[in-house]
Chain A
Amino acid sequence: MSYAVEVSDLTFAYEREPILERINFRMETSDFMAIIGPNGGGKSTFLKLLVGLLSPKQGTIKIFGEPPQKIRGILGYVPQNTHINIEFPIRVLDVVLMGYHEGKRPLFGYNELEKKRATEALEKVGLAHRLHAKIGALSGGERQRVMIARALCGSPKLLILDEPTSNLDIEGQKSIYTLLQHLNKHIPVIVVSHDISVILEYANKVAYINRRLTFHDISDKNRVFHTHGLEEHFCEVELLQMLGADGCDRCNGTSFQTEKSK
């Protein structure tokens, strides 16, 4: 069987201590994969390895059977938006056109076909009417949609997003995930997220990364939380909200070891 992503025995370290250790990961072409885990657990590093911005110290990464550096053109990537200057003087269309950079000639502008496709990408994310708006005039959710449109330029075969819903309210998060779910009808999607309660409603697979990686059966949310001690990262009230009004059917939320009670 051919996989969209196949990672074998991956180990990575920025310095001596490994950030990721002996990671094995497979993803099918129809998957909507959520990657969860604590801060500093290696989630973003894992994505950077998948798109070829970092190279593994050990192990292999194959995207559609090829190393990521060879097929960057078919990867749609939405990096974390924390480093982006929202005051930057640039129009929405120009941000999306950046997705077409590869192989461009110097000096000359983008051609009409590229502009048409960029407009189509903006239509897909519901922002065709903001084509000429300055990026800073958009809301946080709209800006994330622009980043997704940029990632869609060049018709990617895999979409990878690093915390696309950070700083968005629940409605904003749901709107982004609904869009990703729609896109997932055509391409596999990998999303790193902290919004566990929301992402679990949309993803069909969940991987938990904290130096090591483990897969979860998405049908049992309680197990997702309990297996990896996720309860330790949230207070009781937050966990009850995540697991629904009934709380956890194993412990009913009462046995969680909470940050506040420690």
Chain B
Amino acid sequence: MIEALQFPFFQHAIVAGILVSLAAGIIGSLIVVNRMVFLSGGIAHASYGGIGMALYFGIPVFLGASLFAVAAAMLIAYLTLHDKTRSDTFIGLIWAVGMAIGVIFTDMTPGYHTDLMSYLFGSILAVTDTDLWMTTTLLGVIVTVVLFRYREIVAVSYDSEFAMLRGISVSFYHTLMLVLSALTVVIAIKVVGLILVIAMLTIPVYIAEKIARSLWQMMILSGVFCLIFTLSGLWLSYRYDLTSGASIILVSAAALILFVSVRHLTKKIVKQ
């Protein structure tokens, strides 16, 4: 892989991998502790609507996907806050409708020949300078918000009812976390694609959750694990000419299986 580092596209891929891993570690932790995995899945798939519309109207795909994903996140937040009993139905609807909009707009785009698979399964080797700047900006927003509102986010995530009693707006923070998830999903699409993004947001976090003693530790550990899996997957995809997104996810899954097995065995040995 060392020789590959001389190529600008590979350098971009590594920088993108680092930035996206950090964002995925922070936001993935919030998604998991708030049990919002299905909500984030809905947002990720709905963002395809934004990709299709961006291609049709000729605006940057990153911008179109961001706007659409944020709108989907706010809609999901509103619907789930107002009728919790029907939240799975709403998420399923937004998931499917978003994708359908994306497909229809892509169909209507004249002379469109871009590889759609790159949005569904990622294309980290095709990351541009603009993508990197956008990703850096969004990561900056995520870190700033989490840093300045860490205590409120912990309070709402741990016990929303008590947080409400202490004067914290639970609906605001619920919406904020979903919007941040939407932005993270959009920047992760380049790396693993919108279908695989949920695994990137949850597998490293699941491992970190078992080790960390606080939410910030969990965020950092998740980011580090995510980075290791991303770089390992990237190396595998380069070495064996595989799809990078799928390689990253399979490396993550293998690490998860290894972690769970070792943990299980260790517990058994300690019990004996």
Cross-chain contact of B209 among A87, A94, A95, A98 (Cβ < 8 A): A87
| Of listed A87, A90, A95, A134, residue having the most chain B CB within 10 A | A90
Q: A102 near B154 (CB under 8 angstroms)? A: no
Chain A residue nearest to B148 in the complex (CB) = A106
In angstroms, Cα B159 to Cα A101, docked, is 13
| Interface membership of B86, Cβ < 8 A | no
The CA of A84 and the CA of B156, in the complex, are separated in Å by 11
Residue contacts A-B, CB under 8 angstroms, 8 given: A77-B162, A83-B159, A85-B158, A88-B33, A89-B218, A91-B213, A98-B159, A104-B151
Decide if A150 is an interface residue (CB 8 Å cutoff): yes
Q: Is the CB of B214 within 8 A of A77?
A: no
| Chain A residues in the interface with B (C-beta under 8 A) | 51-53, 72, 75, 77, 79, 83-85, 87-91, 94-95, 98-99, 101-102, 104, 106-107, 132, 134, 150
Chain A residues, CB < 8 A from B128:
none
Contact A72 B165 (CB under 8 A): yes
Contact A77 B33 (CB under 8 A): no
Instruction: Look across to chain B and name the residue whose beta carbon is closest to the beta carbon of A77.
Output: B165
B147 within 8 A of A: yes
CB 8 Å contact bits of B27-38 with A (1 = contact, 0 = none): 000000101000
Cβ of B35 and Cβ of A89 under 8 Å apart? no
Given A52-B165, A53-B165, verify A89-B215 contact (CB < 8 Å).
Answer: yes
Contact B33 A98 (CB under 8 A): no
Contact B163 A101 (CB under 8 A): yes
Minimum CB–CB distance from B146 to chain A (whole Å) comes to 11
With A94-B154, A104-B151 as known contacts, state yes or no: A53 contacts B164, CB within 8 Å: yes
B149 lies within 8 A of chain A by Cβ: yes
- Nearest residue in A to B206 (C-beta to C-beta)? A87
Contact of B35 among A51, A77, A85, A107 (CB under 8 A): A85
Given contacts A88-B157, A88-B158, A107-B147, contact A101 B215 (CB under 8 A): no
Cα-based distance from A87 to B166 in the complex (angstroms): 23
* B-to-A contact residues, CB < 8 Å: 33, 35, 147-152, 154-155, 157-168, 209, 212-215, 217-218
Chain B's closest residue to A150 (CB) is: B162
Tell me, in angstroms, the Cα distance from A85 to B159 when the chains sit together: 9
A232 to B116, CA, bound (A): 64
B167-A102 in contact (CB<8A): yes
CB pair B166–A72 under 8 Å, yes or no, is yes
B228 nearest CB across to chain A (Å): 20
Cβ A101 vs Cβ B166 within 8 A: yes
**Given A72-B167, A77-B162: A90 and B35 within 8 A (CB)?**
no
A179 to B86, CA, bound (A): 40
Pick from B147, B164, B166 the residue with the most CB of A within 10 Å.
Answer: B166
Shortest 7 CB-CB contacts between residues of A and residues of B:
A101-B166, A89-B212, A79-B161, A106-B148, A89-B218, A98-B155, A107-B148
User: Once the chains are docked, how many angstroms separate the CA of A101 from the CA of B149?
Assistant: 12
Question: Are the C-beta atoms of B166 and A89 separated by less than 8 Å?
Answer: no
- The answer to whether B212 touches A84, judged by C-beta atoms less than 8 angstroms apart, is no
Q: Which residues of B contact A91 (CB under 8 A)?
A: 213-214
Q: Which partner residue on chain B sits nearest A80 by CB separation?
A: B161
Q: How far is the CA of A94 from the CA of B150 in the complex (A)?
A: 12
Nearest to B164 among chain A residues (CB) is A53
A139 to B194, CA, bound (A): 40
Tell me, in angstroms, the Cα distance from A101 to B164 when the chains sit together. Answer: 11
Instruction: A98 to B163: give the CA distance in the assembly, Å.
Output: 8
A51–B159 contact, CB under 8 A?
A: no
Extra contacts, 14 of them, besides A72-B167, A89-B217, A101-B166 (Cβ < 8 A), are A75-B165, A83-B159, A87-B209, A88-B157, A88-B158, A89-B218, A90-B214, A90-B215, A91-B214, A98-B155, A98-B166, A101-B152, A106-B151, A107-B148
